[in-house]
Structure 1
């Protein structure tokens, strides 16, 4: 996976990472790199399912103990969660012996804006 990551510093005041909806203007090379990292992280079915489980939780936050039932081993779950964090899609916080994950601020609205239909 690329070393590029989407983080809160990439999100602008309108809640998007970089640019207009995909059909509105041509992407720059830098913007396409940032967006590709996000899509690559979400292209794995286990990662997409983990991201969905976290996003669907009240407050958009979940303990790893509550979301690890995705049909793979615990070390594999940790690997996939790390990839989602590296892509800037999730943030994490250790509380005692558990790690809690939450959707990074602005990610869902930015993805929606990026994929919205142009008029």
Structure 2
């Protein structure tokens, strides 16, 4: 896998934060990302589409919800890099994780935002 498109995809702070949040939480839906990132649905969806196009993310549908997770076929060096970015960037994610935690756990989180 060519590293240049992967790094280009992470060059935007919304996409980088999205990848870090998904790595931290294992998977998130659009409404969870909207809340965590404090961004609109069109903006979050546009960034998710780009990340999916670059094969960084996979999605799965569960009823009306679409959940995103890191592509398990990503090169190990890339997955290690993303994992290693979590701890030194906790301050970058603190507000987003606080907003996500305020939503509660699933399924109450889904009832709150995904209806």
TM over 0.5, yes or no? yes
- Call closer, same or farther: CA 1:48–1:107 in 2, change over 3 Å: same
Count of aligned positions: 79
Larger radius of gyration: 1
1:47 maps to 2:15: yes
SS of the counterpart of 1:39?
Answer: helix
What is the aligned partner in structure 1 of residue 71 from structure 2? Answer: 104
- Segments of structure 1 that go 5 or more residues without pairing to the other structure are 1-16, 18-33, 114-119
Higher relative contact order, chain-length normalized (CA < 8 Å, sep 6+): 1
RMSD of the TM alignment (CA)? 1.8
1:83 maps to 2:50: yes
What is the aligned partner in structure 1 of residue 104 from structure 2? Answer: none
What is the aligned partner in structure 2 of residue 64 from structure 1? Answer: 30
CA contact (8 A) 2:59 2:69 kept: yes
Structure 1-normalised TM-score?
A: 0.59
Displacement, 1:106?
4.3
Structure 2-normalised TM-score?
A: 0.61
The 2-side partners of 1:108 and 1:77 are apart by 25
SS of the counterpart of 2:15?
Answer: helix
More helix by share: 2
- Segments of structure 2 that go 5 or more residues without pairing to the other structure are 82-115
Displacement, 1:95?
1.4
Displacement, 1:100?
0.3
- Call closer, same or farther: CA 1:68–1:110 in 2, change over 3 Å: same
